[in-house]
Amino acid sequence: MLNFIQTNVTREELVSVALGTLAANLVIKNGQLIDVFSGEIRLADVAIKGERIAFVGENASHTIGENTTVIDANGYFLSPGLMDSHVHIEASMVSPAQFARAVLPRGNTAVLWETLWTANVLGVQGIEQLLDECQRTPLKFFATAAEGVPCASPELVTPAHDFSLADIENLLGWKNIVGLGEVVLFNEVLQNHPKVHQQIQLALQNGKTVDGSVPGFKGRNLNAYAAAGIQSDHEAITLDEAIERIRLGLRLVIREGSSMRNLTALIKVITEKKLSSRRCCFCVDDKDIREIAQEGLTDDLVRKAIQAGVDPVVAIQMATLNPAEYFGLDRDLGSIAPGKIADILLIQNLEDFVVNTVIVNGKIIAQAGKLVNELPETTYPDWMLQTVKLKRLITADDFVCKSSRENQTQVHAQKVFKEQIISVEQTVTLAVQNGEILPDIDQDILRMAVIERHGKTAPNIGLGFVKGFGLKQGAIASSISPDIHQIVAVGIEKQDMATAVNRLVELQGGIVIVADGKILAELSLPVGGLMSQQGYEEVIKALDRLSQVAQTIGCDLPSPFMTLAFAACPTLIEFKLSDKGLIDICAGKLVPLEVI
């Protein structure tokens, strides 16, 4: 169990307020309390002293003094603050403070930050730096010690960092580190590699959670994975996968992010199969700031779950008490009850689930979608802003896929999908001209490349072909590719790809679109090559522009930049590209480009 959250109010003061011998600081009267313990909605007053709740009952008049602030919540529902159970805040493309600015007014008062992205680029020092920033916001950031650093075998990728057991043990001892991060080395778990099992054991010995990440596993493999000590999984995409995870005692973390829309399929485990919801939580995993601003974070999942037929109290329970219990935080968070932290939402309509007022630590921090007070700006040291370290300029020749065959050849291409982060192998026939394998716009087969950007190699450049982007011209390049974060580029013309990549180096990370040799749109993400230093509104404008331009050159994917990122993710099934070449993820081995 995690140590309880330290606050300034004493337990003796809470007792006195509950008995009426000491006045509360804040009293909320006449609200419809969403009781996540009993499953009821009932009329109740809530009295708050400092950061904690002292009294919940039909009448809190005895706790009101001369200086007590009173909120009349008549016509409002009172909900605990929402918690996202697994989010890479870096995927929002904004800083932790800007992320907090965007999600707090929507009722998201706590998140579980999976630190894997930062860890693989910036190491332990980067996690520490960003956690310091996190603690200066009203949003409660809890975090995990990243297990997958590196996230795949060095035979398959070139890592920037390699966490030792001592690093993991150190991280597990930090305040607000509640568990071991998603165990992405799932093949190593089944093969009983000592290091990954030692990491899991360290977490269990320290009473911490162990998060899972196991796409496609079922039967004996899923049993083995759970037997290793893993306690959750957010990679289920089918109803059968959801059912099996619950039956094996895993927490089913239902995901609805930028390019992974799984809620519609998975929520049927409750609405149709009538399985218990108490083992279910919500997460977005990876969601860019534009979609967060449009849809929300956990509030989006609660809203969609209610619309899918889940009882509103159950949906809210899945976003509050369930994750708090999972992460050992329920002593303080996840409910509206005496002694708990006063993170409370006022909501007018449960069907729409639009949050009117957000109270954090007993204080109003947002109303009508706006923060009451702005958050301080953050500055970063140079070492966090200079992580794209190519040793030379990239040229068009770097994207030539050579072949000794004449006229045509068969290649192992990668096929990506709309609203999914998985990709599969598809054998395609491509033309060969002067020893070079050519893309084929008519088949929607484009060039793809992954370039090592941590300064460890000459650089390594992995080459392949991809189907599913729809580009008719130009190229897109990005410094985001979970969880290793190399540069990934897709395009038709080799020179456009080179121009886009070289511009990324100048920006020290981001997203660039090029066509006919001209830069059409770009977004600078210099913090680790993952996040912007700008306000989130400016990042949204840049993403809007990038999306519009991507459409004009033929890409109609709803989240093209996240889809591109995950095409180079070596931790997800089943066919990906790294700086070392094509990877059969399930087999854990490199695959030649041409079909032998």
Q: Summarize the chain as % helix, strand, coil (round to 5).
A: 30, 30, 40
- How far CA 180 is from CA of 116, 203, 249, in Å, comes to 10, 6, 18
Please give the helix or strand (H or E) that residue 227 lies within, else none: helix 219-227
Looking at residue 596, its pLDDT comes to 86
Residue-level pLDDT, tens digit, the chain, 596 residues: 344 577 899 999 999 999 999 999 999 999 999 999 999 999 999 999 999 999 999 999 999 999 999 999 999 999 999 999 999 999 999 999 999 999 999 999 999 999 999 999 999 999 999 999 999 999 999 999 999 999 889 999 999 999 999 999 999 999 899 999 999 999 999 999 999 999 999 999 999 999 999 999 999 999 999 999 999 999 999 999 999 999 999 999 999 998 789 999 999 999 999 999 999 999 999 999 999 999 999 999 999 999 999 999 999 999 999 999 999 999 999 999 999 999 999 999 999 999 999 999 999 999 999 999 989 888 999 999 999 999 999 999 999 999 999 999 999 999 999 878 889 999 999 999 999 999 999 999 999 999 999 999 999 999 999 999 999 999 999 999 999 999 999 999 999 999 999 999 999 999 999 999 999 999 999 999 999 999 999 999 999 999 999 999 999 898 899 999 999 998 888 899 999 999 999 888 999 999 98
Token output for 388 = 């794209």
Beta sheet of 518-524, edge-to-edge order: 436-437, 423-433, 408-416, 461-467, 445-451, 487-491, 475-478, 510-515, 518-524
Sequence-distant contacts of 128-137: CB under 8 A, at least 24 apart:
129/380, 129/381, 129/384, 130/96, 131/174, 131/176, 133/95, 133/96, 133/97, 133/378, 134/96, 134/100, 134/176, 135/176, 136/97, 136/375, 136/376, 136/378, 137/96, 137/97, 137/100, 137/104, 137/375
* Separation of alpha carbons 77 and 508, rounded Å: 46
- CB contact at 8 A, 355 and 423: no
Token output for 133 = 């920033």
Domain parsing of the chain, residue ranges: 79-179+233-368, 383-591
Looking at residue 571, its pLDDT comes to 83
* Separation of alpha carbons 78 and 31, rounded Å: 6
Task: State in Å, rounded, how far the first CA of the chain is from the last one.
Answer: 54
* Separation of alpha carbons 438 and 107, rounded Å: 50
Looking at residue 2, its pLDDT comes to 42
The beta-strand segments (E) located in 434-580 are 436-437, 445-451, 461-467, 475-478, 487-491, 510-515, 518-524, 575-578
**Residues 138-189: pLDDT tens digits?**
999 999 999 999 988 999 999 999 999 999 999 999 989 999 999 999 999 9
Beta sheet of 140-145, edge-to-edge order: 82-87, 108-113, 140-145, 177-183, 209-212
Looking at residue 4, its pLDDT comes to 53
Alpha helices in 78-193 (DSSP H): 96-103, 116-134, 165-172, 186-190
Single out the residue of 144, 217, 211 nearest to residue 174, CA to CA: 144
**Domain 79-179+233-368 falls under CATH 3.20.20.140:** yes
**Residues 481-521: pLDDT tens digits?**
999 999 999 999 999 999 999 999 999 999 999 999 999 99
* Separation of alpha carbons 163 and 120, rounded Å: 9
The pTM assigned to this predicted structure is 0.95
- CB contact at 8 A, 472 and 488: no
* Separation of alpha carbons 27 and 264, rounded Å: 38
Residue type, 254: I
